[in-house]
């Protein structure tokens, strides 16, 4: 989201939404845990690439590149 | 910015000379240049290690006579797409595998993307391989109006979706309407505490995340992966998947809530207390 979008969102900013969250603990928990769900997935390190998969990838790419560059 | 050395051919790619170099390193090899793909300021720069043979080559690296083709070489680096490919790919070539740099940088992320969508290791491997190959082969179609990684992701997602459809043709339809029957929002309301993920070792956490995202329907899994994990915009996600922006938003909301619900059993505060 860029600055312009944020400003545009302000026009539809719902005060009542914040007021509801302030007094409703259930909704606060849902919002908080949903935010954490996204953060946990975003912060998760990509699984290390198994070495055999990596080797196969590099070998296959080099092979196919060479073949393609010969036929180009 | 240093002088750009254009290839003088269709791919909008150019080699940029080093912007600054310590006087003592000016004559050292290999010398680090950058391959810029696309003309936008946001385009990606791929490190390119150039060895002396190419730099000292007196004539342009092009096929045929440059004069006959109307190409006036502006530097010894001028070359066409074919010779670029040869230089990049020949093991003894003058450029030291910049494609390898590209692969090294993104392979884990593309593999994770493939795993998240296909939930199958062999398919993820194929997806990764095809995505790198196709992105390289179609460099000239890259317009430079998006990040190179976004472009690579788009190719990988298309490959992954094809795998998914082939594997489960009757189960995977990205444009099917959502049933409104279930309401995943308020089934379980339990607090997790400040950093619930720290209760698990990294490998254990990875297993949990893989499992819960794998349990999601593909139509939710794909949208969540693109929007929240890869950070692709809503518009771009809609474009990649061929669905409306409203559908992306609706599926993203449901995907987030479903994942939250599935993670509840691991992260709820009562588990640790």
pLDDT tens-digit readout, B210-227:
889 988 888 899 999 999
Give me the pLDDT at residue A18, please.
Answer: 81
In this predicted structure, the answer to whether residue B110 has a pLDDT above a threshold of 60 is yes
Residue B212, burial from CB neighbour count under 10 angstroms (0-12, 13-18, 19+):
buried
Q: What is the pLDDT of residues B164-209, one digit of tens each?
A: 888 765 555 555 545 555 555 556 677 887 788 888 888 888 888 8
In this predicted structure, the answer to whether residue B132 has a pLDDT above a threshold of 80 is yes
Peptide bond into B30 cis (omega under 30): yes
Give me the pLDDT at residue B251, please.
Answer: 92
Q: What is the pLDDT of residues A25-65, one digit of tens each?
A: 888 888 888 889 998 888 877 777 888 888 888 888 777 76
Q: Which chain A residues have any C-beta within 8 angstroms of a chain B C-beta?
A: 26, 29-30, 32-34, 36-38, 40-49, 53-54, 56-58, 60-62, 64-66, 68-69, 72
Alpha-carbon span B257 to B252, nearest angstrom: 9
Give me the pLDDT at residue B146, please.
Answer: 58
Does the distance separating the beta carbons of A56 and B112 come in below 8 Å? no
Does the distance separating the beta carbons of A48 and B99 come in below 8 Å? no
The DSSP output letter for A69 is H
Q: Quick one: closest CA in B to A40, which residue?
A: B197
pTM of whole model > 0.80?
A: no
Give me the pLDDT at residue B184, please.
Answer: 53
Instruction: With H, G, I as helix, E, B as strand and everything else as coil, classify residue A12.
Output: coil
Instruction: With H, G, I as helix, E, B as strand and everything else as coil, classify residue B119.
Output: coil
Mutate to test the interface with B, among A39, A45, A47, A63 (most CBs of B within 10 A): A47
Of the candidate ranges B64-78, B210-224, B234-248, the one whose mean pLDDT is the lowest? B64-78
Q: What is the ipTM of this complex?
A: 0.75
Residue B68, burial from CB neighbour count under 10 angstroms (0-12, 13-18, 19+):
exposed
B220 contacts chain A (CB < 8 A): no
The answer to whether B37 and B46 have CB atoms below 8 angstroms apart is: yes
Distance in Å, alpha carbon of A13 to nearest chain B alpha carbon: 18
Question: What is the residue-wise DSSP string for B136-203?
Answer: HHTGGG--SSS-HHHHHHHHHHHHHHHHHHHH-TTT--TTPPPP-S---TTS------S-GGGGS-HH
Size of interface A-B (CB pairs under 8 A): 105
In this predicted structure, the answer to whether residue B241 has a pLDDT above a threshold of 70 is yes
B99 contacts chain A (CB < 8 A): yes
Alpha-carbon span B68 to A67, nearest angstrom: 28
b/e per residue B33-49 (b: at least 16 CB within 10 A): bbbbbbeeeebbebebe
Q: How many CB atoms lie within 10 A of CB B150?
A: 17
Sequence length of chain A is 72
């Amino acid at each position: 989201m860029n600055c312009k979008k944020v400003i545009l969102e302000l026009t539809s900013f719902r005060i009542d939404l914040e007021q509801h969250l302030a007094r409703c603990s259930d909704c606060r928990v849902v919002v908080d845990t949903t935010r954490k769900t996204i953060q946990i997935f975003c912060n998760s390190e990509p699984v290390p690439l198994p070495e055999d998969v990596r080797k196969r990838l590099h070998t296959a790419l080099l092979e196919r590149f060479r073949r393609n560059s010969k036929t180009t | 910015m240093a002088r750009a050395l254009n290839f003088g051919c269709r791919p909008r790619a150019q080699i940029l000379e080093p912007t600054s170099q310590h006087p003592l390193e000016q004559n050292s090899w290999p010398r680090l240049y950058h391959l810029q793909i696309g003309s936008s300021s946001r385009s990606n720069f791929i490190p390119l290690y150039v060895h002396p043979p190419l730099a000292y080559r007196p004539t342009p690296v092009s096929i045929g006579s440059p004069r006959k083709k109307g190409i006036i070489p502006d530097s010894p680096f001028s070359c066409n797409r074919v010779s670029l490919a040869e230089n990049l790919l020949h093991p003894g070539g003058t450029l030291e595998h910049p494609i390898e740099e590209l692969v090294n940088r993104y392979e884990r992320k593309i593999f994770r993307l493939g795993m998240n969508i296909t939930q199958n290791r062999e398919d993820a491997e194929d997806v990764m391989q095809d995505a790198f190959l196709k992105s390289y082969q179609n460099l000239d179609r890259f317009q430079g109006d998006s990040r190179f990684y976004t472009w690579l992701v788009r190719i990988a997602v298309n490959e992954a979706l094809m795998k998914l459809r082939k594997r489960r043709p009757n189960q995977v339809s990205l444009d099917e309407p959502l049933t409104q029957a279930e309401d995943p929002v308020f089934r379980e309301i339990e607090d997790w505490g400040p950093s619930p993920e720290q209760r698990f070792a990294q490998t254990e956490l990875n297993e949990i995340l893989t499992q819960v995202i794998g349990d999601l329907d593909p139509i939710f899994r794909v949208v969540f992966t693109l929007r929240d994990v890869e950070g692709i915009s809503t518009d771009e996600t809609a474009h990649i998947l061929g669905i409306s922006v409203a559908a992306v938003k609706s599926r993203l909301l449901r995907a987030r809530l479903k994942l939250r619900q599935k993670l509840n059993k691991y992260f709820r505060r009562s588990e640790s207390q």
